[in-house]
Structures are given as structure tokens and as C-alpha cells.
Amino acid sequence: MAELRLKEIAARVNGRIIQGDPALVFAQFNIDSRLSQPGELFFALRARRDGHDFIPDAAARGARGAVISREVQSPGQNFALVRVEDTAVALQRLAGSVLADHPVKVVGITGSVGKTTTKEFAASLLARRFNVLKSEGNYNNHIGLALSLLRLNPSYDVAVLEMAMSGRGEIRTLTRIAPPDVSVVINVNPVHLEFLHSLEEIALAKKEILEGTKPGGTAVVNADDPWVRTISQDWKGQKITFGLSPRCDVRATRIRKKGTDGMVIKLHLGREKEEVLFPFVYDDYLYNLLAAVSANHALFLPFDDIIQMIPQLKPFSRRGEIFRLASSIELVDDSYNSNPKALASVLRSLASLPARRRVAVLGDMLELGEKEIEFHIEAGEEVVACGWDVLITVGRLSLHLAESAQAAGLDPCRIFSFASSEEAAARMTSIIQTGDLILVKGSRGMKMDFIADRIKSYFRED
């Protein structure tokens, strides 16, 4: 963590100390009073809820100061207060100054699908040679990225950061806080169409990461994605391409599925090539791996080191974790999020796994804009085309998914629809049978993790 005196913090954020000892040192920074820790500096952000209203809660949990943008009643005479014009901007300025103090190599990762998976792969591979800071959880916007950077200290060599967006200009803001040395663009898919109304708009928003890359930096781009090729075609700097096609600098060939153990691939990096076990079943995760390998190559990690680390990569929480439960039931917990492209890929990837029945538990896919019904209809058709035996839907939009699956030939006796995850979870145990392979997937707002956890609890392996 960065350790800064109150006087330094005020200077870096263009603020004014209202109260508190200028020599007071802070090493922890936070925006959520529920997570406040003793000794921290609390940033009172003004969003849907006004963080200024929660300063007493933060102080009660041990916070020693706050950055504010309006008058507040102090929780105590020793509680530090720094007044700024905009607390979110102040947080970003402080983060940028900490990065300037500790100028590590920055890997910025964007894409419609797979940012977190690529980040985790890249950080794990880099950890063989470097001390790596990575953005935690879904800390991938202008606030989360800033909080991640405030954890920097002189021991770190590399920062691997997700850069997400829901509209134009958001990634540009992130690159101003942390200009990438290596910018990774994974893909451009129909996500956030509620805010950006075409694939072209999404692609141009993703291009901002390339435009914000440091001079002399490297672009890592998916050469199999037409929109990524389009936005990177005028890139003048070093470029590393990845994908499955022969034109790619980093690619995979001779892919052989090994059931729930994953797949064996031949990994090509320039003239070097080697067979390696990749312990994941999702086809799309292979692209995430190739993107991560490319980022590692950009930072000169030796090919042999990369090959040794790939079989040691671990599954991520609620992003395709496989649980082997009682009664020979296998649960694929992919409850973290969903979108049309990712769902279709998962349905196809899992269809080849052996099972008595394949049960798809699917929640609404959110933020899809005007085509939301069309995307759910297509998902229902995909369920049937991939040979899934039972469909369980959760939410209003997924009713269209159920109707589409029935129209495509799935027996209506094998289709169950529920309004909420709580309702579905209550009925789930009566639907599941011995030997089932169960996929649980939906947008974060649908709380599909509640269903996954109920299945794990009920069918817990002895």
C-alpha cells in the first residue's frame, strides 16, 4: 500500500485540509463505509448514494479521515478532512500520483468478454518472474482501477489492470490514470448495447485503450476478431496478434479435448512451439490464454516459463468452476455474468462432456438494448442445437428463451421457468437427477449464484 501523509495527499489531489494533523499517515483508502478499516482514508463519492452521508459509519469502523466535496459534520476533533472539488477526480489524481512514484509496467486489458479471465491468466503467468499487482474482483472502472493502483508499493514490478466501459470516453479516462505499456484487446461483442447501440460504437470505445497506450508500447490484439482487426489496423507501434488462424503471432493448433480435465494444445509463439495441458473446458478461455501469453511475451517472459505455468492455472470463482457433487452430479458454476456470445460458447463447449442429462439453468442477460428479446430467442435455439436435455429459465426475458427452445423442438415437459433465483432454487432439487451435468449462468443482477450455492449445499459430496 502507498503510505502518504495528509499534507501530501491534499497537495496531490488539489485539496485543502479542513481538519487534522498534516503529518498523519494513511496507507489504506476506501469508498465503501461497510468495508472501512481502522486507520483508512475514506473518499466520500457522490453517485446514486452520497458518500458524505456515510462518513459517520466509516469513522465508527475506524476510518481516521475523509476526502469531501461539501460541508459535513466532523465525527470527531481528530478526524482528518480534506476538501476537494470532486472526490472521484481526487481519487483518480491520487492513484495517478502513486503510479508515478512507482512506475511499474502496466498491462491494460479490455474486451467485451473475458477481461477478468485474461487478467487472471496474465497475472498468474507473469508471477513466475515478477511481483504482480492485479485489479481485484470487478474493480475495472474509473473508481476500481484507482483503488487498485493505491495498493502499489516499491515491491511491485507489473500491474495487470482490467479496463471496462459502458460508454465512449470511459476507457480513455482509465488510460489517463494508468497509461498501458501493453494494451490487450480481446474481442468486440454485443455487450452494453443499452448504452452503445452498435458493434461499431463498441469497437470505437475499445479503441481508446490503443489511443491511450504509452509511446513505444505494445498492442496485443485478437486477429480472429474482425472488429479488433479494424480498430488496430492503423496502429503504428509494436503489435502482437493472437488467435487460432495461421496469420497470428501467438496461436494454438492441434486442440484435443480431455473431458473435464481441459484440453491439450500445441502453443505457437513465433518459431517456438510446445504441447501443453490447458486445464479448462471452455473454448473461449483458449483465446483468453493466448491473449495472456501475448502480454507475457510483450514483457519478455521466456517461452519455457510460460509453458511450465499453463498447466498450473486455476479455475476462477463463478466463472466456469466445475464441482463434482454427490449422486455423480457435476455442476458448472458460471453464475458471475452472461451475454449472448459467452453463453453460446459455453453451451457448445460443455455439450461434448459426458453426462446422463445436460441441464441448462439460465437467467436473463441484461443491458442488451433493443435486441434483448432477439438475443434470448437465439439463445433458446442454441440450447436445442447443442443437445441440452433440460432447460430451466430465470427471469422475464428468459421466458423468450424458453419459448424459443420449445419452438425448436425441446419437450415442454423438460422446460421450467421461474420469476426469480430464489423461486428456482427452491424447486431445483426436485428437478435434478443422478448423473446430471448442470450449467448455471446468467447476468450478475439475476443472482444466479444463489441457485449454484443451493445445489452445492444440497448435493454436497460426503
Tell me the CATH architecture of domain 102-312: 3-Layer(aba) Sandwich (3.40)
Nearest of 22, 142, 2 to residue 80 by alpha carbon: 22
Which residue type does 405 have?
A: A
CB 286 within 8 A of CB 263: yes
Is the pLDDT score of 138 beyond 80? Answer: no
Q: What are the pLDDT digits (tens) for 176-195?
A: 999 999 999 999 987 656 66
Tell me the CATH architecture of domain 321-458: Alpha-Beta Complex (3.90)
CB 223 within 8 A of CB 248: yes
* pLDDT at residue 193, as a whole number: 60
Name the pLDDT band for 335 (thresholds 50, 70, 90): very high
* Cell representation of residue 68: 469531501
List C-alpha distances in Å: 190 to 132, 359, 376.
31, 25, 13
CATH (residue range 4-87): 3.40.1390.10
Mean pLDDT in residue range 298-312: 96
Mean pLDDT in residue range 237-243: 97
Q: What are the pLDDT digits (tens) for 195-221?
A: 667 889 899 999 999 999 999 999 999
* pLDDT at residue 275, as a whole number: 98
Determine what percent of the chain is predicted with pLDDT higher than 90: 88
Counting Cβ atoms within 10 Å, is residue 312 exposed (0-12), middle (13-18) or buried (19+)? exposed
Is the pLDDT score of 113 beyond 70? Answer: yes
**Domain locations in the chain?**
4-87, 102-312, 321-458
Name the pLDDT band for 135 (thresholds 50, 70, 90): confident
Length in residues, the chain: 462
CB atoms within 10 A of CB 448: 29
Name the pLDDT band for 315 (thresholds 50, 70, 90): confident
